Amino acid sequence: MASNSDSTPPAAGAVRPIAVLVDREGLGDTLLKLPFLRAISRAYPDRPIWWIATHETSMAREMKPIVGDMLSHVIEGAGITTPMQQVVRNLKRLPPFDLVFDMRTRIPTVLAARMVLQHRGFYCCLPGYILSDRRPPGRFSRPKGIAARALSMAAAALRHQPEWQGPFALDAKARRIAAERLPAGPVYVGFAVGSREVKKNWPLDRFIDLAHRLAAAGRVPVFFNGPQEGAVVAQLRAAVPNALFPQAEPIDADVAPLVFAMAIGERLSAAIANDSGMGHTLGALGVPLVSLFGPTDPDRWAPLTVRGVILRAQDHGGDEMAAIPVEAALAAVERLLSDQTGGSASTER
């Protein structure tokens, strides 16, 4: 096993940690599980949390600056999926846990963890919550969405709906730079125009058209330019000269890019995003969010939001992203801007 921190078992009599078991996780996967992590770290502040991945997890890399105050250990390459003989040996090397949350979906591997790991409570999200000590209140079938499914395990352990919202412990320098580039006063609307798959992207000219319409109404478009958007920044700058690009200028080397993106997100009144990591980030921050979906299923992949609107291509006569009209996106953004009082998790369709 490879760990990014000391993996010494707790001493006799010490507080038992909490274990979260996962398979392989990219950035988007971990962002969808971020509300769950926030919920259990708040509910059990006295218990260290171990995030244990069969393969790689972004919790050990991109997410580390965000979750460092919530996770005491991140272990990669734990070898807890196959082959079963090795799985059992690796599970036996782990310490006794207070609670175990198993995010994985294969019954044999989840069963092995339940049988081998020492624990006081075991929670998983297999169909019907089989092998879990309890179901979440009021549920007999698991949610379809990845974020809601993870959060339901916290609800099962707590026996009530968990608290996952609120500000993050972001680097003060990142917040200061974000405030300098997006000073208080204007109504900022964020645009996340990229994703890892071109087929998930709303056409760029639609984003540009939307930015012009919002600017005409007195809003200030703010474009994110992460790895997926970098190639179009010059085009966007030329097409929307009154927009802001706070990530386009250099930042201090000790400010993590994801942390800075989150600090920018905190200053937005609303945002619009494709099905992407940035969309999940904005949802976790509580930014009122319009999420654009076409080839992917929002029931499974939509970000968990405090207040959000999902626009599906299929509701506008097609399966491709181009089916979503600018008028629908504009109406959704304006709807979110007109109602900034939403205080409970909800998603409008």
Q: What is the pLDDT of residue 11?
A: 55
Task: Give the angle 118-122-124 at the CA atoms, nearest 5°.
Answer: 135
**Residues 151 and 226 placed together within one structural domain of the fold:** no
As given in the structure block, the two tokens for residue 151 are 């959060």
Q: Tens digit of pLDDT for each residue in 42-57? A: 999 999 999 999 999 9
Considering 158, 180, 202, which residue would you say is the last residue of a domain? 158
**Residues 30 and 89 placed together within one structural domain of the fold:** yes
Q: What is the pLDDT of residue 215?
A: 98
123-137 per-residue burial string, b: 16 or more CB within 10 A, e: under 16: bbbbeebebbbebbe
Residue 228 has pLDDT above 90, yes or no: no
Q: What is the pLDDT of residue 4?
A: 57
Domain range holding 102?
A: 2-158
Considering 158, 188, 222, which residue would you say is the last residue of a domain? 158
Q: How confident is the model at residue 103 (pLDDT cuts 50, 70, 90)?
A: very high
C-alpha to C-alpha distance for 347 and 266, rounded to whole angstroms: 19
**Residues 36 and 176 placed together within one structural domain of the fold:** no
Handedness of CA 36, 39, 43, 47 (dihedral sign): positive
Q: How confident is the model at residue 341 (pLDDT cuts 50, 70, 90)?
A: very low
Ranges 4-18, 56-70, 272-286: which has the least confidence: 4-18
Q: What is the pLDDT of residue 166?
A: 87
Q: What is the pLDDT of residue 348?
A: 53
Q: What is the pLDDT of residue 304?
A: 87
**Residues 201 and 339 placed together within one structural domain of the fold:** yes
Q: What is the pLDDT of residue 3?
A: 58
Residue 192 has pLDDT above 60, yes or no: yes
138 in a structural domain: yes
C-alpha to C-alpha distance for 171 and 176, rounded to whole angstroms: 9
**Residues 215 and 87 placed together within one structural domain of the fold:** no
* Residue of 249, 248, 287 whose CA lies nearest to 267: 287
Residue 307 has pLDDT above 50, yes or no: yes
pTM above the 0.85 mark? yes
- pLDDT above 70 covers a percentage of the chain that reads 92
**Span 282-309, average pLDDT:** 94
Q: What is the pLDDT of residue 346?
A: 44
C-alpha to C-alpha distance for 294 and 315, rounded to whole angstroms: 10
Residue 342 has pLDDT above 50, yes or no: no
166 in a structural domain: no
**Residues 54 and 107 placed together within one structural domain of the fold:** yes
**Residues 85 and 213 placed together within one structural domain of the fold:** no
**Span 186-191, average pLDDT:** 98
**Residues 9 and 69 placed together within one structural domain of the fold:** yes
CATH number at residue 136: 3.40.50
176 in a structural domain: yes
Are 164 and 257 spatial neighbours (Cβ–Cβ below 8 Å)? no
Ranges 56-60, 88-92, 139-143, 226-230: which has the least confidence: 226-230
Considering 158, 180, 211, which residue would you say is the last residue of a domain? 158
Sequence-ordered list of residues with C-beta below 8 angstroms from that of 279, at least 6 positions apart, any chain: 192, 273, 289, 291, 303
Q: What is the pLDDT of residue 231?
A: 78
Hey, is 114 helix, strand or coil?
helix
**Span 247-267, average pLDDT:** 94
**Residues 235 and 301 placed together within one structural domain of the fold:** yes
**Residues 142 and 216 placed together within one structural domain of the fold:** no
**Residues 179 and 294 placed together within one structural domain of the fold:** yes
C-alpha to C-alpha distance for 326 and 336, rounded to whole angstroms: 16
Considering its fold, how many domains does the chain have in total? 2
**Span 310-334, average pLDDT:** 97
**Span 79-108, average pLDDT:** 95
CA atoms within 13 A on the CB side of 62: 21
